[in-house]
A and B are shown apart, each in its own frame.
Chain A
Amino acid sequence: EIVLTQSPGTLSLSPGERATLSCRASQSVTSNYLAWYQQKPGQAPRLLIQGASSRATGVPDRFSGSGSGTDFTLSISRLEPEDFAVYYCQQYGRSPITFGQGTRLEIK
């Protein structure tokens, strides 16, 4: 199975700053089938990015995804208070579907 490793484990930033989250795959992700999700405490995950770089419906344009092959990045251009949460990457190019262990984005 494809193992996804996210870094850093925790990212401490202030509102207004830029966040860069990394997701590295143990094998190349087929057709860039890589998604990002946001999860807030007590809530289900929310789809942000699919196909490595396409924003899901209703996702603000401060969120952007990039990368290919084994290295992917989620960027948040200017952090809003509601952006502080846990972020997961997910690959769906090869079964079994796998998720990264998550990056916690916390307020500095």
Chain B
Amino acid sequence: QVQLQESGPGLVKASETLSLTCAVSGASISPYYWSWIRQPPGKGLEWIGHLSNSGSTNYNPSLKSRVTILVATSKNQFSLKLSSVTAADTAVYYCARAMPDHTFDIWGQGTMVTVSS
């Protein structure tokens, strides 16, 4: 059974960098795409970006200048870094597995990140 688990600080100061890790268990990270998606409190879903099985990345243009998604294949993990955060970046952050057609079939439970001033 494939499981994803996000981890990282729940509180980040404004202007600093948000860093999260997603641990993948029950499957190899190699054959799939791996995404980050976020959801501000009481609002809808926003795709942040993904990492392909070839190591290439694709980011939402609205966040592209601040986002980095990296893979640690040996650890079966991938990570998210979002720089220069503001209160607008406060959200639940989900990691998810994307099928080749980019539907998200498996999700982590999500982790709440609050940006404080």
Contacts and interface: CB of A to CB of B under 8 A. Distances in A.
Same complex for A and B? Answer yes
Interface of A: 1, 33, 35, 37, 43-47, 50-51, 56, 88, 90, 92, 95-102
A99 B105 CA distance: 15
- A-side binding surface: helix, strand, loop or mixed? loop
Interface string B71-112: 000000000000000000000001010010111110111100
A101 B46 CA distance: 10
Contacts of A99: 44-47
A44 B46 contact: no
A5 B1 CA distance: 34
A11 to B, nearest CB: 16
Contacts, number: 53
A44 B103 contact: no
Interface residues of B, number: 20
A97 B110 contact: no
A6 to B, nearest CB: 9
B7 interface: no
A47 B60 contact: no
Nearest to A95: B58
